[in-house]
Structure 1
């Protein structure tokens, strides 16, 4: 695992969590940016991107 990939994944997770419950288009856009950043970090570390909907309770580590 790379530190850069882990940092991207963590930052994306935080951005997604802070914005996913917002109803405004801006909040939804920021949540999607967080998901994209999180997946970018996962791919850099050799993990599969998360494909399940947020909050579904499915784990795809």
Structure 2
């Protein structure tokens, strides 16, 4: 597990959480950027990317 991967995953999670409930296209785009960053960090750490809709998966 790399420190960089953990940081990317955490930063992506925060960015997604801050923007996922916004109705504007800009908010939705930023939320998707957060998901992409989180998944990039997960892949770097050897974990599977999250593919389900936000809020529908069981907590890890």
The TM-score normalised by the length of structure 1 is 0.93
Aligned structure 1 segments of 4 or more residues deviating by more than 4 angstroms:
none
Structure 2 match to 1:41: 41
- For residues 1-61 of structure 1, what are the structure 2 equivalents within 5 Å? 1-56=1-56, 58-59=57-58, 61=60
Give the count of matched residue pairs: 60
Whole-Å separation in 1 of the counterparts to 2:3 and 2:19: 24
**Structure 2: 5+ residue stretches without partners:** none
> How much does 1:55 deviate?
1.1
Aligned-residue Cα RMSD (Å) equals 1.2
Note the alpha carbon deviations across 1:17-60, whole angstroms, 9 max, x for none: 0000000000000000000000000000000000110011x137
